[in-house]
Amino acid sequence: MNAHSGHFQQSDGDSMGKKVFLLSTLSMVIAHLAIAAFFISPSSASSIFDVTAEQKAIRVLEQHLPMVTGRLVRDFPNNIELTKLAVEFHRYRQNYYKAVKVLERALRLNPGNYDLCKSLAELASENGDYEKAIKYWEKALSIQPDDWKLYNKIADALISAGKYAKAIEKLEAKIKVSPLSARSYHLLGLAYMQLGDYEKSKEYLEKVYKTDPEYFKIHYLLGKVYRRLKQPEKAKKHMQLYRKNPNEESKGKKGPIRRGDGDLVYDQTKVEIDAFSVILARLCILGSEFYRLSGNDDDAKALFEKSEDIFEQGLVVAPGQADMCRELAFMYISTKNKPGKAVEFAKKAVERRGSARNYFVLGLAYNENANMEQALSALKKAVELEPGNKRYKKTYNKIKRKKMK
């Protein structure tokens, strides 16, 4: 813990308590006014009248989450899980730069951390910053030299950056330490093709096909290389095989390729509320635990109360929000706080959306309240709705066995 601890904390002295209560009431009023002002400020693109409940909920979460993540990352700089949650938040907001900033800061504090290097490289690669991706994958490889897959990742980024000879060098270095995979052969074939060495390219691409006949994508490159080697029949054969790829759905020949029978409006909003709610609940669960383990119960409590308050604010503006209800319930369960409220909010989640995930959390909430009968009923429903989910099944069986005992 560092000197910043106590930020979430509230005093328990009597008069002090009153002052804190007044101050906190005042600050809450100010916070709510700030939110209202945010909604109606001229810089905001919409007026208060056309901001929907869901938009308000997202804004509540967006407004408070940076503070929570920032504080936790600062208090537990060596904790990678918390850093990753902070990064996930920025990724959902499509803010590559902030996500990179969080990761680079964490890496400065944990210079030998393999996970952080990998996360940075992946993020950079997704955003077309291949030089940065190569730098961090190289660093990850220096930390864990036996992670052979990193050679492929580096070679892939080198090819995307147009550095074909270096990609070949990297993969040839891999041959010395580990047998090549279909993916490595693919990359070698691709790099040689870009260099115009079609014989070598063919040699490696054929190896992909032999190593993994289900590697459909390779037919495209094989078709290309045979066409360049002036073997049109072989080229045609591979292109035809590529066309048969079940994942290859872009060809438009003979009839419309995508009918567009989906919903009139595809709603992505709930995906985001769901994601932010999950991040907030996980931050609270993990953060509280870390505060407690470091002997700072007050900060754990303050974090819990802050998180609870954010959920409640969100549910005030968007009372119909199932995901927020579920995650709030899950937070109660996991932090072992207010088990009664866990059932209340899990029930609300199920009422709003009867999904397997919501029933599962309701089952956990009943279990937390020692109501095994109801817990099993809710978990059974979750299993029925999502029979393939092993976690639901395992939890159901576990409680069933517990009840039988």
Partner 1 sequence: MMIRAFFNKSLLRFGIIAGLICISSSPMALAKESITFTDVTKETGITFKHTDGSSGEFYIVEAVAAGLALFDYDNDGDIDIYFLNGSPLKGTKSKTAPKNALYRNDGNFKFTDVTEQSGLGDTGFGLGVTVGDYDNDGDVDVYLNNHGPNVLYSNNGDGTFTDVTKKAGVGDGDHVGAGTCFLDIDNDGDLDLYVARYVVFSYDKHKAIKIRDYLAYQGPNFYALPPDGLYRNNGDGSFTDISESSGIGEYNGSGMGIICADYDNDGDTDIFVANDNMENYLFQNDGSGKFEEVGLMAGVAYNFNGKQFASMGVDCGDYDNDGLLDFYVTSYVKQSTSLYKNIDDGLFEDVTSSAGAGDGTFASMTWGTGFADFDNDGDKDIFIATGHLQTNVEKFSEHMVYNTRNEVLMNTGDGKFVNITEKAGGGLKVELSSRGAGFDDLDNDGDIDVVILNTKSGPTILRNDTNNSNHWVQIHLKGTKSNRDGVGARVKVVTKDLSQIDEVHSGRGYQGHHGSRLYFGLGEHKKIDRIEIRWLGGGVDVLKDVKADQLITITEGENPEK
User: Are 332 and 341 spatial neighbours (Cβ–Cβ below 8 Å)?
Assistant: yes
Secondary structure of residue 399 in the 3-state scheme? helix
CA distance linking residue 295 with residue 299, whole number of Å: 9
Is residue 89 a contact residue for partner 1 (CB under 8 A)? no
Q: Cα separations (Å) of 84 from 20, 89, 107, 240, 279? A: 33, 9, 12, 43, 10
Q: Cα separations (Å) of 317 from 32, 43, 44, 371? A: 11, 21, 18, 31
Is residue 323 a contact residue for partner 1 (CB under 8 A)? no
Q: Considering beta carbons, is residue 24 or 127 the nearer one to partner 1?
A: 127
CA distance linking residue 310 with residue 316, whole number of Å: 10
Q: Considering beta carbons, is residue 229 or 356 the nearer one to partner 1?
A: 229
Is residue 223 a contact residue for partner 1 (CB under 8 A)? yes
CA distance linking residue 164 with residue 157, whole number of Å: 10
Q: Considering beta carbons, is residue 85 or 382 the nearer one to partner 1?
A: 85
User: Are 251 and 243 spatial neighbours (Cβ–Cβ below 8 Å)?
Assistant: yes
Q: Which of residues 176, 244, 253, 401 is near partner 1 by CB under 8 A? A: 253
Stretch that binds partner 1, among 91-99, 146-154, 293-301, 331-339 (CB under 8 A): 91-99
DSSP state of 370: T
CA distance linking residue 6 with residue 294, whole number of Å: 13
Distance spanning both ends of the chain, measured CA to CA: 43
Q: Which of residues 144, 269, 295, 402 is near partner 1 by CB under 8 A? A: 269
Q: Report the nearest approach of partner 1 to the CB of residue 266 (Å).
A: 5
Q: Which of residues 8, 54, 134, 155 is near partner 1 by CB under 8 A? A: 54
Q: Which of residues 41, 52, 78, 397 is near partner 1 by CB under 8 A? A: 52
Q: Which of residues 15, 146, 214, 259 is near partner 1 by CB under 8 A? A: 259
Count CA within 13 A, CB hemisphere, residue 115.
10
Over the window 92 to 111, marking each residue x when it contacts partner 1 by CB under 8 A and - when it does not, the resulting string is -xxxxxx-------------
CB burial of 223-233 (b: ≥16 within 10 Å; e: otherwise) equals bbbbbeeeeee
Q: Report the nearest approach of partner 1 to the CB of residue 294 (Å).
A: 32
Give the dihedral of Cα atoms 127, 115, 8, 320; nearest 10 deg.
Answer: 60
Is residue 160 a contact residue for partner 1 (CB under 8 A)? yes
Q: Report the nearest approach of partner 1 to the CB of residue 239 (Å).
A: 6
Q: Which of residues 73, 117, 171, 221 is near partner 1 by CB under 8 A? A: 221
DSSP element (H, E) containing 38: helix 14-40
- C-alpha angle 195-201-206 in degrees, rounded to nearest 5: 165
Secondary structure of residue 187 in the 3-state scheme? helix
Q: Which of residues 117, 133, 150, 190 is near partner 1 by CB under 8 A? A: 190
Is residue 49 a contact residue for partner 1 (CB under 8 A)? no
Q: Considering beta carbons, is residue 157 or 331 the nearer one to partner 1?
A: 157
Q: Considering beta carbons, is residue 190 or 302 the nearer one to partner 1?
A: 190
Q: Considering beta carbons, is residue 76 or 164 the nearer one to partner 1?
A: 164
Over the window 118 to 157, marking each residue x when it contacts partner 1 by CB under 8 A and - when it does not, the resulting string is --------xxx-----------------------------
- Positions that interact with partner 1 (CB under 8 A): 45-46, 52, 54-55, 58, 93-98, 126-128, 159-162, 164, 190, 194, 196, 217, 220-221, 223-224, 227-228, 230, 235-236, 239, 242, 250-260, 262-269, 272
